[in-house]
Chains A and B, each alone.
Chain A
C-alpha cells in the first residue's frame, strides 16, 4: 500500500505543478484552486457568491443557449453547428479561451461576440436589424444565451489567445495602449482601478491585471451579475467601464473593444477560466 502511494505521488505533484487548467472541474472548484494559490481579497470578497456558484442562474441561460445553437434558425434555416470559432466548425470545447483570434475568412481579429454575429449573419442569414443580433444584453437575449453556452464549454481551460498572426499582436498591443490611456472628465484609464492589488472602490475589491490568478476571474465572462440579476458579457463590461470613466460609449464589437479584450485576455494567459462565473 505504501509503495502504491509512492508511485502515485509524483503523478499528483506533476498535475498540481501544471496549474489548475482542468476542464473536468466545476467553476467553483476552478475558483477554489486559484484561492488556494494566491492570497487575494478580490477572489474571496463574496463568500455568498462562492456558495451560490453551484446554483448559478447562468446555467439555465447556457442550457437555453445550447438549444438555440443546435436549432435551425434564420432565413437560411441553419444551425450554428457550422460556425468556426477557431478550432474548426462546431468545435466549442476550449474555443473561447483561445479568442480573440485572427480569422482568415474575414481577415479580422474577432472576439466571441463578433464571431457569433458573423456566423448568425453568414450561416443563418440574420440581418443586423433582427432582434437575434440587435439585442446584445440581458439573460433573455439570444446573444447572451449563445455566449453563455459557448463560454461554458471553455470552463477550466487555460486562457491561451493565439499570437501567431501579426494582426493578433497588433491588436493586443493597441489594447495595451488603450488600457493605460487616460482621458475624459476624470482623467481615468483602465489602469486607475486595475493596476494594484486589494484596492477598493467603495466596498468592492478590484482585480489587478498584473496578477493573472486574480485577473482570470475578472475576465471570466459571461458571468451572472448578482446586482444586475442578469448574465453579462465581456462587451458589456467594456461598455460599463468606459461609461464609468466618463469617456462615452464604446461601440459593441468595434476593433477598439476587441483590442482591449485581446490585451486583457493575454494578461490572464495560462490561468484557468471560470465559466460561467458569478460576480457581485
Chain B
C-alpha cells in the first residue's frame, strides 16, 4: 500500500509509527506534506481570490520545491542553474514593450500589503486591489522611516541607474520573477504568480525610475 521512492530506514520507522497513529489515506512525499494534505493540517477547501483553493496554494511548484530543499543552506550551483532556467522560461514581456506607468499609483502599490490573505479573515479583491507591499522589505522614499530591511534599499533607484532599455528590462524581470538573477531569493514572483497586474508592475517601475518620484529625490 505504501509506495515510497527514497525512504531510508529511519524514515520508514517513523512512517510506520505515524501510520499506526494517524492512519494514512494516501501517499505523500514526506511527513510534512502528509500533515498538510492528509492529516487535516489546513482548511484545504477554502476558496482563494484567484479562483482556486487553499490546497492549490499549498501545492508547491518547481521553484518552491527545489528552494525549500535547501533548508537553512545557501544556494549551491546545481540548484542555482536549475532554478535560474525555470525562472527564465517563466518570463513574459508586455506586448507593447516595457513602459513606465504612473509613479503615484505605483507608490500606492508599494505601500499596500492588502491582498491574497485567506483564513480567519479573507481579503476581498472586489473592494480593494491587492498591493505589492514593497515597503515591507525595501527602503524606497528616503522620507519614509517605516521600511523593511529583508531586501536591499532601492532609494534613488532610477537616479543612480538612468532609464535605458537594459536597466528597465532588468528591473521588469526582477519584479516578474527575481529567480532569474537571484535563485532561491526570498522575494516573491510578482508577475509569474499574478500578485500584480501588468499595469501595476509598470506603475511600480515608474515609482522606481520616474525622475519626479519621491524615490529619486
Contact = CB atoms under 8 A, between A and B. Distances in A.
| Bound pair (A, B) | yes
Interface of A: 107-108, 166-167, 169-170, 173-178, 180-189, 191-193, 195-196, 198-203, 210, 239, 242-244, 246-251, 254-257, 259
Best-surrounded residue of B13, B43, B68, B137 (most CB of chain A within 10 A): B68
A174 B68 contact: no
Given A202-B135, A248-B46, A186 B72 contact: no
Task: List the 6 closest A-B pairs by CB distance, nearest first.
Answer: A256-B41, A248-B54, A249-B119, A177-B32, A256-B35, A186-B188
Nearest to B14: A170
Q: Give the dominant DSSP class at B's interface.
A: loop
B43 A249 contact: yes
A203 B146 contact: yes
Contacts of A184: 57-58, 116
A129 to B, nearest CB: 18
A248 B146 contact: no
Interface of B: 13-14, 17-18, 21-22, 30-32, 35-36, 39-44, 46, 48, 50, 54, 57-60, 63-64, 67-68, 70-72, 116-121, 135-137, 145-150, 186, 188-189, 193, 195
B31 A189 contact: no
12 contacts: A167-B18, A175-B32, A177-B30, A183-B59, A185-B195, A196-B150, A203-B146, A242-B119, A247-B42, A248-B46, A259-B32, A259-B35
A248 B32 contact: no
B116 A185 contact: yes
A182 B18 CA distance: 24
A188 B135 CA distance: 16
Contacts of A192: 150, 186
A269 B202 CA distance: 47
Given A183-B58, A251-B42, A255-B40, 5 more contacts: A170-B18, A185-B50, A198-B149, A199-B149, A259-B32
